[in-house]
Every structure is written in C-alpha cells, then in structure tokens.
Structure 1
Amino acid sequence: MAAPRIHLPQPLEAGQTLTLPPEAARHVQVLRLQPGDDLTLFGDPARGGEWRARVRAMGRRDVTVTVEAHAAVEREPARAVHLAVGMPANERMDWLVEKATELGVASIQPLRTARTVLRLDGERAARKVAHWQAVAVAACEQCGGNRVPRVHPVRLLADWLADPARAALGAGVWLSLAAGSVPLPVWGAAHGGPCHVVLGPEGGLTEAEEAALAQAGLAPLSLGARTLRSETAALAALVLLTSPPPVQPEAGPLP
C-alpha cells in the first residue's frame, strides 16, 4: 500500500525532524497513522519532487515526523496549460478545480465575465479562492502530483487581458462555437510550449468579450460541434493539450 501523501510547502532535508503544521497534523491524525508509519511529503519549493518520511511521535494535537530521503520524481504534463475560466455556479467550480488538478493543470484563473452567474468580491472572493486552493492541494495528495497548481485571485476578464504578466503563460486561445474555428487538437499539434485557455461561463462569452480576446492576440479554437458545459470543455481542452502524441507503429515487412 502506498504511503499517504502530505503537502508540506517548505524546504526539507534528510535527517530533519519537524512538527507538522496544524492542517497537515490533522490530516495524519484522520488517517490514524502511528509512530513508525511511512508517509510522503511534497511541496518543497526549492527541490520539488517528494520526500520519504516516517511518523516519529503522535500527540493529541502535534505530530512529529523524521524526513528520510528525497526522490526527484515529477508527474506533470510536458506542456504547461493554464486555464482561465468564467466561473461556473454552484459546486461545479470545485469539481473543475479538483479534476483539472488531477489532469495536471499548471494554474487556474477564476474570471468574472458579463454572463458569470457566480459573483464574488472582496472577502467572499478571497475565501472562495482559499477553498479552491485547498481543493487543489487535496487533489494533488490523492493523484500523486508534486506541483500544486496555483488558483489565482478572482479577476475581471478585461483586467486579466490587460495584465502584461499574462504573456508569461505562453500562447493564448479561447474556446469558441463559431463556424470555421480551428480544431483545438490541430492547433495543439502545431504549437508546442506552454499556453493559456480561456473559457466562458454557462452562458458563454459575449461578442464584445470575444472581440477583446481577439484584440489581445488569443485565437478562437473549437472542440467540435457539440455544446459542452464550461467545466466539461475545460477538462476536454486540458486532456487534448497535455496528452502525448500517439506512438506510430513501426512498419512491418511487406507480405
């Protein structure tokens, strides 16, 4: 049985003994681990990968572990894909964050658009983002990812498009239902490297928003003739852009 995985975003070293922070300690206690049990720590900002560790002592509130050895293993897709999503309502954003994290998304930008049903501002927005970040952490603990994607603060689409820092995310595209849009797999095969994908909310993007995306240099791409929910479209795009190309079978001898 694989050792439980605990997110611990701090520098670690072999032989170090440390007391887990409260959230991580509660996780270990919920799992009913005992002194001597193995666990895996990940989130080291300096070295990445993961660390083998062992529970040293269990208190009523405190958990002490000993760090043993580092493994330079990463399970991230070859292409970094950043999602910028017009936030779906209800629990669908939670589901999107969880599943996108499992599939290896690089980051998630929640967007407010003209047709966004979920309206978040101020303290309420900050609480939601903290919740979504915790969802991403839990998903990484479950799926084996060692790089937790950042969930950025909620922003208006126009403000995000105007931010010069967006250029660091690579080529930009948006998912469109317009006839004649290039199929996303075709674009993905022709464009390597990191990219960011914009998706509208349940009601889609307005014509003015699509014009703003085009003016900002993003390309409209298609996922096909069917109209998908925003969270379904996000995951479909992520899979198509991160999946390695199929291996071509070697030609056999002529009969």
Structure 2
Amino acid sequence: MPPRFFVDLALAGQTELNLPPGAARHVQVLRLQPGSALTLFDGSGFEWQAEVKTMGRSEVTVHLQSQQLVQRELANAVTLAVVMPANDRMDGIVEKATELGAASVQPLMSERSVLRLNGERAEKKQAHWQGVAVAAAEQSGRSKVTRIAPVQTLAAWLASLPESTADQRRWLLSPTAAEPLSRLNSQAADQTLVLSGPEGGLSPAEEAAARARGFVAAQLGPRILRADTAPLAVLGWLALSER
C-alpha cells in the first residue's frame, strides 16, 4: 500500500505540484524515488493517487493521477469537548479520537483543571495537537482530519454555544447520572456533542451550567473512568454502533 500524506492545499483540478515542507520531508525520510507511488488527501473527503516526479534537496514534485471519494467518516459527526488532563495525555486523546472518527476536539479548562494554557502557549499546543491529528489521519486511512479547536474555558465555551436543536445531541459524562448511554443513543441526530470533565470531575455548578445549555447527563457504567478514558470510550462505542 502506498504511503499516505495529508497536504494542506486544495488538490482538486491540479495535475502537478510541489509538496509542502512537511509532506516533502516525509517522502525524503522514506527514501521514495521518482516513479514511487503515494496517496495524497487534503481533508475534502477525496484521495488522490500520485507519483513522485522529481526529488530535490528540499523539494519534491508529484504528478496527480486519479482521484476518488473515500467514505470512512462517522455518519454522526461527533465533537469531544474535553477538559484537558494533566501531563501529555491530551496527545493520546487527540490521536485516538482521530483514529475513531471524531469530527472535532474542543480542549477546555474548568475549575478543577490541572493543566492551564493561555496566550502563545495555548496556540502552540493547539498547533501541536493538530499535527497529532494529521499524523493519525494519515495512519488510519481517514480522508478528513479531526479539527482541534482553540483552548477555551468551560464557562466561555458553554456561553458561546447556540441553542440546542433537534439534530444535535448533547451529552455530559457524569458518574452520578442515572441515564445510561444506551438509552440516550436511541435519539436520532446528525451531531453528537460529548462533554467530559477533568480528574475529579466537573463541579456541581459547572454540571448545572452544562445542563442549562441542553446537556443531558450520561452514565458509562459502575466503574469510574479516567479523564482520558471516558471520552474515548464513548467515541469508540458510537463508532462501533454504526457498523
């Protein structure tokens, strides 16, 4: 199978192009040669079969051949709104969420957050996580890349949400909720918004604020899952339930 690379350029209508620096570097690391096959995608849902035409010290020119629409996305667009866990565990959430088909990930800070990011540091982390999502999309065969939204506080994010509509489900992961996830999943919708708290969970006031914005508390079972496990468990369950 040819190696796959994401290209942050519109590929429709092009027959030949110089690969952006990131993709060109990967081609050179793999020691591909003129005539080598590769697959490119630009996040539009299409894949292009291509061939290396020329190799330079820092430039790689490719010839685009055939294109095809690839459907590997979830029928239900899922956004994971995650209060960022400590250390580097957010990397794992982004990687696995992309593999499992999340449309987007919203990093959040709450009252009990350990990890707090602002300004330039938040922007650098967002760019880093977007790179993690690109690599996971290349590996997993997705033709779209999970979007990583800018870091926000939970309060600001909840305030920015539009009114809930019939085509969007909003779930709040809570160990004290009585509503099992299997029952909530019976509601038909085109989009699902999953809010997951940090180590120690959301505060009562934060849970109340989320409910006021249309979130329904969901219970994942009798065991308490870690902050980096709970949102992925929901996403995996949703992905498998579509099969």
Shared topology, TM-score over 0.5? yes
Whole-Å separation in 2 of the counterparts to 1:162 and 1:134: 28
Residue 131 to residue 153, structure 1, CA distance change in 2 (3 Å): same
Whole-Å separation in 1 of the counterparts to 2:140 and 2:133: 10
Query: For 1:182, what is the secondary structure of its paired residue?
Result: coil
AA of the residue aligned to 2:97: A
Partner of 1:244: 241
Matched, 1:144 2:141: yes
Q: What 5-or-longer segments of structure 1 have no aligned partner?
A: 247-255
Percent of aligned pairs with the same amino acid = 51
Whole-Å separation in 1 of the counterparts to 2:170 and 2:193: 5
Partner of 1:123: 120
Pairwise CA distance, 1:15: 6.3
- RMSD (CA atoms): 1.7
Deviates more, 1:74-83 or 1:137-146: 74-83
Map 1:150-169; keep pairs closer than 5 Å: 150-165=147-162, 167=164
Whole-Å separation in 2 of the counterparts to 1:99 and 1:166: 29
Whole-Å separation in 2 of the counterparts to 1:138 and 1:15: 23
Matched, 1:19 2:12: no
Partner of 2:171: 173
Q: Is the 8 A contact 2:169 2:189 kept in 1?
A: no
Query: For 2:145, what is the secondary structure of its paired residue?
Result: coil
Q: Is the 8 A contact 2:168 2:189 kept in 1?
A: no
AA of the residue aligned to 1:67: L
Query: For 1:67, what is the secondary structure of its paired residue?
Result: strand
Query: For 1:26, what is the secondary structure of its paired residue?
Result: helix
Partner of 1:253: none
Whole-Å separation in 2 of the counterparts to 1:19 and 1:220: 49
Partner of 1:102: 99
Partner of 1:210: 207
**Number of matched pairs:** 242
Whole-Å separation in 1 of the counterparts to 2:163 and 2:149: 12
Matched, 1:60 2:35: no
Query: For 2:126, what is the secondary structure of its paired residue?
Result: helix
Partner of 2:225: 228
Q: Is the 8 A contact 1:160 1:166 kept in 2?
A: no
Whole-Å separation in 2 of the counterparts to 1:44 and 1:93: 22
Whole-Å separation in 1 of the counterparts to 2:71 and 2:8: 15
Residue 245 to residue 66, structure 1, CA distance change in 2 (3 Å): closer
Per-residue displacement from partner, 1:38-91 (whole Å, max 9, x unpaired)?
A: 10000154xx22000000011110000000010111211111110000001111
AA of the residue aligned to 2:216: A
Whole-Å separation in 2 of the counterparts to 1:92 and 1:233: 13
Q: Is the 8 A contact 2:81 2:108 kept in 1?
A: yes
TM-score scaled by structure 1? Answer: 0.90
Matched, 1:199 2:196: yes
Residue 111 to residue 13, structure 1, CA distance change in 2 (3 Å): closer
Whole-Å separation in 2 of the counterparts to 1:145 and 1:245: 16
Partner of 1:249: none
Per-residue displacement from partner, 1:199-218 (whole Å, max 9, x unpaired)?
A: 00112100110010111111
Please tell me whether Structure 1 or Structure 2 has the larger radius of gyration of its CA atoms: 1
Q: What 5-or-longer segments of structure 2 have no aligned partner?
A: none
Partner of 1:184: 181
